[in-house]
């Protein structure tokens, strides 16, 4: 194993508070109680970033990478004021340079949209929104525990346009409790009609440590969900939203830079309560995952390191880690990325790739590691080959 080059670098920022915890949500989110400690949390984020940059410098003394993307996720980051976001981004840029074409995304709940507020987010440096609509059906929104209704959802998109955000993502789910095929497609058609440059369309799953997992609602059967997926994908394609990842669709040249960096096994710093990061080190010839104290109170009150833990990825685990991300992309990744981003010789995986190509699960293009249509339908089984 020999790492000789560094991949692109992104920054993930976690703001953990939300208005109300949704019953399907397994993210590190906590319902707000009174006023949010915005100023204290921003300063803690900056302290966190300084520690991350110190670690980055120790890992790669000659690192000159600028940030290619920033994603502010949660929780509901749009609960923080535009002034707080401006202060945060200004301080970050004083510590690490931004690429000229940097993508800076803010996750937003439709219930937080106000015209002037989002103009101010734009002026603060946010140039992309990710809007968590999930459904336009009021009955389904109630089932999902959402705090907005369909009127709020449509208003949010209108405000996004009016406040200068040409680039935004809409999150929509399917396979919802008691959802019919027509209801799922109606949601999707309504989202497409709003002309987003990017759309995340994904199946509801019952994750551990959620209310839905403890008390499962009645979901559509597997065959119904499969038909929703096939019909929806065809509809998206016809409307110019091309699938480039398992759950991600975009117009040409509008793929999400931040998530694409994850899927291409790039590096990312993670700051904020429960945030995760991945760092490649040429000096130490390894790749490390790092994660932060999870509970907001512990994160805010810690007098010592904000790091909850770190783990070097074992060389024998790197093929699975790489493929788990890369094979989500419908066009795959350049074959050379395996060696340049893991430090492993291509021969490590070549026999398995040849076998999977013979089985019709991977494309036969020698320049790209990419699943076939069949491979995408059996992705979990395919990934097991690399464990």
What's the whole-number average pLDDT of the chain? 97
85-104: pLDDT as tens digits = 999 999 999 999 999 999 99
Does 387 score more than 90 pLDDT?
Answer: no
**C-alpha distance from residue 33 to each of 1, 30, 36, 166 (Å):** 49, 9, 8, 33
CATH superfamily of 9-260: Aldolase class I (3.20.20.70)
Residue tagged 């921003």 (tokens): 42
CATH top-level class for 318-387? mainly alpha
- Per CATH, 9-260 and 318-387 having the same topology is answered no
Q: Are 120 and 105 in contact (CB under 8 A)?
A: no
Q: Bridge partners of 186?
A: none
What is the predicted pLDDT for the residue at 303? 82
- To the nearest 10°, the Cα dihedral for 283, 10, 80, 162? 160
75-84: pLDDT as tens digits = 999 999 999 9
Does 304 score more than 90 pLDDT?
Answer: no
Domain boundaries, the chain: 9-260, 318-387
């Amino acid at each position: 194993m020999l790492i000789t080059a560094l991949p692109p670098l992104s920054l993930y920022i976690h703001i953990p508070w939300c208005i109300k915890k949704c019953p399907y949500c397994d993210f590190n989110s906590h319902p707000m109680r009174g006023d949010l400690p915005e100023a204290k949390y921003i300063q803690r984020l900056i302290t966190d970033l300084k520690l991350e940059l110190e670690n980055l410098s120790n890992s790669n003394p000659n690192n000159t990478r600028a940030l290619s993307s920033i994603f502010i996720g949660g929780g509901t980051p749009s609960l923080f004021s535009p002034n707080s976001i401006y202060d945060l981004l200004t301080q970050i840029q004083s510590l690490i340079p931004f690429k000229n074409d940097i993508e800076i995304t803010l996750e937003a709940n439709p219930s937080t949209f106000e015209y002037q507020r989002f103009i101010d987010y734009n002026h603060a440096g946010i140039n992309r929104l990710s809007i968590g609509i999930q459904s336009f059906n009021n009955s389904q929104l109630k089932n999902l525990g959402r705090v907005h209704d369909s009127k709020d959802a449509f208003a949010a998109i209108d405000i996004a346009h009016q406040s200068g955000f040409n680039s935004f993502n809409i999150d929509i789910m399917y396979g919802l409790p008691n959802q019919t095929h027509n209801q799922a497609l109606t949601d999707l058609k309504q989202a497409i009609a709003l002309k987003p440059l990017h759309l995340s369309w994904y199946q509801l799953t019952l994750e551990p440590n959620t209310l839905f997992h403890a008390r499962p609602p009645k979901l559509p059967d597997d065959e119904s969900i499969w038909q929703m997926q096939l019909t929806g994908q065809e509809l998206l394609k016809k409307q110019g939203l091309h699938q480039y990842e398992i759950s991600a669709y975009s117009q040409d040249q509008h793929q999400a830079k931040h998530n694409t960096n994850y899927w291409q096994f790039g590096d990312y710093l993670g700051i904020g309560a429960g945030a995760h990061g991945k760092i490649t080190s040429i000096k130490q010839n390894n790749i490390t995952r790092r994660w932060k104290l999870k509970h907001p109170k512990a994160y805010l009150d810690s007098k010592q390191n904000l790091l909850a833990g770190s783990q070097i990825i074992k060389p024998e685990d790197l093929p699975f880690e790489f493929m788990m991300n890369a094979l989500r992309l419908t066009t795959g990744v350049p074959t050379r990325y395996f060696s340049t981003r893991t430090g492993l010789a291509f021969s490590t995986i070549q026999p398995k790739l040849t076998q999977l190509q013979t089985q019709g699960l991977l494309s036969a293009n020698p320049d790209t590691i990419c699943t076939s249509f069949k491979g995408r339908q059996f992705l979990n089984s395919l990934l097991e080959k690399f464990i």
